[in-house]
Amino acid sequence: MLGRYYAEKNRAYNEMFRITGYIRSQRDEPVRRMRYGCKTMDYNGCEVIACYHALLSLGRDISFAEIADACSRLGLWLGGVWGTRPRALYRFCRQYGISYRRYRRQDFAAITEDVVLYAYWNPRFHGIHTVELHKTERGYCVTNLGYLHGRCFPTMGDALRAIRTPMQILCLGCTQNNR
* DSSP run (H or E) holding 124: none
| CATH code for the domain in which residue 33 is found | 3.90.70.10
The Cα 169–Cα 42 span in angstroms is: 21
Strand partners, 129: 120
For residue 148, the SS3 value is coil
Can you give the pTM of this predicted structure? Answer: 0.87
Give the C-alpha separation, 64 to 3, whole Å.
Answer: 17
25 φ, ψ (degrees, to nearest 5): -155, 145
Residue positions counted in the chain: 179
The three-state secondary structure class of 100 is strand
11-44 residue pLDDT tens? 555 566 677 788 887 888 787 777 777 778 877 8
Q: For position 125, what pLDDT does the model report?
A: 74
In whole angstroms, what is the distance from residue 152 CA to residue 123 CA?
A: 23
Domain count, the chain: 1
Q: Average per-residue pLDDT in the chain?
A: 82
Q: Cα 171 from chain centroid?
A: 11
* Residue span of the structural domain in which 100 resides: 2-176
